[in-house]
Each structure stands twice: as structure tokens, then as C-alpha cells.
């Protein structure tokens, strides 16, 4: 009875307060639902909307996405972060076209067989696009369920079982979206709006007087800080040497200026490598990464860029290396998947990391005098 009351109240609230989002247009297009769910992972709605709209202008169908080169996909994703999402979405689109005739699987089981599709994404697509009775457990839903049921430290499987038990048959899609919207707009991590919540009289956390205590916050670990040295290498014709990161792993498939994490022993800011003004460490890094032996060159500091990832931070110290003569770069065992001498226009057409975009702007400022 409590489950039915909860679902009824939530769905009535949702009918009045549902967010008007572009991927919720009826009839639901499974490709658009899938795209939105992938983009929304770890990313706020306000950030996603313009990316979503630009994406559909370029890749309006699953077939268009599958036919596109990965470089073009990553370029369009540029700045959205968590680039594995774009790589997996592209790989899954190719798989759907090649093995499913372009038809996205309608079941959780079928969706889970696609590259990069996990339990949440499969449940979201199945329920929202195909009206399957499947739960979809994102961060907002976990928080709502934990508070309503007074779960201080719930286990993942426990929450999945709870979410499934609450599903109203035939209305799982609306119910899942209602939970997501409630968590995003009312049952927020900080300062939840309990008086506006349709579930307040059923909520254990609200009755406790301290809803923010549910679920209990995990103690944050110290964030590692990595130092990276970067060389913006420019030949006599103004071309810049770019390296493409390996397809797997962090920022896979993106292009960057020649870089490597700086290994230091005396401190964390790299002064042992550059405090004396010696360019030897920089030249060794360039050889290791590109096979490029720097002879005569004009080397000068370009600037510093800081960037935070989910689990660590980096500081990149960039140096401008202007070559006096043309040099030959070759792929190395500890180097890049591809190397490219790129014109300025070509650099701007490549999918770059956010910190590389900042470094590029610093370089452009030196060439324009601004």
C-alpha cells in the first residue's frame, strides 16, 4: 500500500511539475533518449542542452553517427568531458547498425550487450523509449530513495531492488523521470525543499529533522596533484606538432600538445627540473614522446594551466619551442597513437582537451601580440 501511495503521489506531482526538456518530446525517439542519457551522466542539464542540440544538427540519426569518423565525434563532444562516453556511444551506434540493422534493442538485456551501456543507461532507455518496466538508478534517484526510506549507507543492490519494487506497471518511464526530477529540483543534496515535496509525509529523512544526513556523506580523500610539462613545438613554417592520445584510457582519442607527467623527487612544483633554466628535461621528454631531437631552437616559457578532473588535479607548465630547421618526428613506444604537423587552422579543427585549448589560446596570444 505504501508503495502504491508513493507512486501515485509522485506521478501526480510529475504531471504538474515535469521539466520541459528537448529529449522528452513525444513520440520518444530511442536514439535521442539514449543520447540524452549518455550526455547527462556526470553533467548538469543546463550544460547538456546546447551540446544535445548541436549534436542532433550534425548527427540527426543513429546511422549518421555510426558513419562519422571518431575524430569528428570527439570534436563535437569537445568541452563536455568524460570522453569515454562519446567513444562508447560511437562504438555502440556502429554495433547497432552492423548487427541490429539500425534498430536499438528494446530490452535491458539487449541494451547491456552494447559497448559502454551500463545498468542505469539500459534501464533508462528501456523504460523511457520502449515503456519497459525497468528501474533507472542515477544519483538523484539514489538520494530520493535513501531519504524516503531512511537509508544512511545503502548498498547498490539494495537500492536497485527497492527501485524495482516501487515501479508502477506500465508507467515505469514516467516514474523514473519523476524520481529524477524530484531529486534534481526538490530533494537536492543541500537545502532540500521538503515543504514542496509530494513524498514528505512518507519520508523518514524529513521526519528525522535532518534530511541532509541521508545518505551519509563519504569522507573525501585527498586529491592527488600531478605536474605535467608541455611543449608547443612550432616548425619554421608555423606548423605545430600534435599528438593523439591512445584510444583507451583518460581522454582517449583526443589531441594534445606534446606532454608528459613530470617526475620529481625534491618537490611537487617541478622546480628541480626547471629552476635552473635548463631545457634538458624538456628535450628528453620530447625525444621520448615523439623521437624528435631538438637541435637549434628558441625555447621560452609559455604559461601555466591548472585543470581539475574528478579524482585528481593537474598543473601543466607549457613551453614554446620554435624550431630553426625542419625536424622529423616518429611514433615511439612511450609516445602517441598518431603524430601530426598541423597548421593553425588544422589545430583548431582537432578535438583538444580543455587544458590544451587554454594552452593554444596562450600560444595564439603570442602570435597576435594581444
Cα 187 to its chain centre, rounded Å, is: 24
Separation between Cα atoms, residue 22 and residue 368, nearest integer Å:
40
Tell me the pTM: 0.86
Separation between Cα atoms, residue 138 and residue 36, nearest integer Å:
13
CA-closest candidate to residue 130, choices 27, 36, 37, 35: 27
**C-alpha cell read off for 180:** 529524477
Separation between Cα atoms, residue 290 and residue 286, nearest integer Å:
6
Look at the alpha carbons of 46, 51, 363, 87 in this order and tell me if their dihedral is positive or negative. Answer: positive
Predicted local confidence at residue 270, as pLDDT? 42
Active site residues: 37
Separation between Cα atoms, residue 128 and residue 202, nearest integer Å:
26
Task: Spell out the residues 6+ positions from residue 296 whose beta carbon is closer than 8 angstroms to its own.
Answer: 323, 324, 325
For 2-213, CATH gives 1.10.340.30
Separation between Cα atoms, residue 16 and residue 181, nearest integer Å:
12
CB atoms under 10 Å from CB of 220, counted, come to 6
**124 to each of 12, 23, 149, 178, how far by Cα in Å?**
20, 12, 22, 12
For 225-368, CATH gives 3.90.79.10
Predicted local confidence at residue 268, as pLDDT? 41
Alpha helices by DSSP H, 59-83: 62-67, 70-77
pLDDT per residue of the chain (370 residues) written in tens, 0 to 9: 577 899 999 999 999 999 999 999 999 999 999 999 999 999 999 999 999 999 999 999 999 999 999 999 999 999 998 999 999 999 999 999 999 999 999 999 999 999 999 999 999 999 999 999 999 999 999 999 999 999 999 999 999 999 999 999 999 999 999 999 999 999 999 999 999 999 999 999 999 999 999 999 877 778 899 999 999 999 999 999 999 998 888 888 999 999 999 864 334 444 444 444 568 889 999 999 999 988 778 999 999 999 988 788 999 999 999 998 777 888 898 789 999 999 999 999 999 999 999 999 999 998 875 4
Task: Spell out the residues 6+ positions from residue 34 whose beta carbon is closer than 8 angstroms to its own.
Answer: 89, 104, 121, 125, 129
In the three-class reduction of DSSP (H, G, I as helix; E, B as strand; rest coil), residue 261 is classed as: strand
Predicted local confidence at residue 274, as pLDDT? 46
- Domain ranges (residues) in the chain: 2-213, 225-368
Separation between Cα atoms, residue 120 and residue 136, nearest integer Å:
5
Amino acid at each position: 500500500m505504501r508503495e502504491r501511495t508513493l507512486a501515485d503521489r509522485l506521478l501526480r506531482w510529475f504531471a504538474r511539475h515535469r521539466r520541459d526538456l528537448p529529449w522528452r518530446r513525444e513520440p520518444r525517439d530511442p536514439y535521442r533518449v539514449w543520447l540524452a542519457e549518455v550526455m547527462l551522466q556526470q553533467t548538469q542539464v543546463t550544460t547538456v542542452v546546447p551540446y544535445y542540440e548541436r549534436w542532433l544538427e550534425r548527427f540527426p540519426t543513429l546511422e549518421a553517427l555510426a558513419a562519422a569518423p571518431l575524430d569528428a565525434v570527439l570534436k563535437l563532444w569537445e568541452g563536455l568531458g568524460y570522453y569515454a562516453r562519446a567513444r562508447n556511444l560511437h562504438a555502440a551506434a556502429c554495433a547497432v547498425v552492423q548487427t541490429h540493422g539500425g534498430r536499438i534493442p528494446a530490452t535491458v538485456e539487449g541494451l547491456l550487450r552494447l559497448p559502454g551501456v551500463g545498468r542505469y543507461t539500459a534501464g533508462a532507455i528501456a523504460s523511457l523509449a520502449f515503456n519497459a518496466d525497468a528501474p533507472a538508478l542515477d544519483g538523484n534517484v539514489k538520494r530520493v530513495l535513501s531519504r524516503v526510506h531512511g537509508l544512511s549507507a545503502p548498498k547498490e543492490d539494495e537500492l536497485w531492488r527497492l527501485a524495482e519494487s516501487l515501479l508502477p506497471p506500465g508507467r515505469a518511464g514516467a516514474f523514473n523521470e519523476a524520481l529524477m526530477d524530484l531529486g534534481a529540483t526538490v530533494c537536492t543534496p543541500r537545502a532540500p525543499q521538503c515543504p514542496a515535496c509530494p513524498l514528505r509525509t512518507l519520508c523518514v529523512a524529513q521526519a528525522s529533522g535532518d534530511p541532509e544526513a541521508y545518505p551519509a556523506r563519504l569522507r573525501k580523500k585527498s586529491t592527488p596533484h600531478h605536474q605535467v610539462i608541455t611543449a608547443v613545438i612550432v616548425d619554421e613554417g608555423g606548423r605545430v606538432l600534435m599528438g593523439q592520445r591512445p584510444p583507451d584510457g583518460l581522454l582517449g582519442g583526443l589531441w594534445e600538445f606534446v606532454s608528459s607527467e613530470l617526475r620529481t623527487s625534491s618537490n611537487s612544483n617541478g622546480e628541480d627540473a626547471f629552476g635552473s633554466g635548463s631545457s634538458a628535461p624538456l628535450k628528453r621528454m620530447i625525444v621520448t614522446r615523439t623521437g624528435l631531437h631538438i637541435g637549434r631552437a628558441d625555447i621560452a616559457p609559455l604559461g601555466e594551466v591548472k585543470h581539475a578532473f574528478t579524482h585528481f588535479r593537474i598543473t601543466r607548465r607549457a613551453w614554446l619551442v620554435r624550431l630553426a630547421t625542419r625536424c622529423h618526428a616518429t611514433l615511439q613506444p612511450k609516445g602517441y597513437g598518431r603524430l601530426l604537423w598541423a597548421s593553425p587552422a588544422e589545430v583548431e579543427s582537432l578535438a583538444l582537451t580543455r587544458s590544451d585549448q587554454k594552452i593554444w589560446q596562450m600560444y595564439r596570444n603570442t602570435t597576435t601580440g594581444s
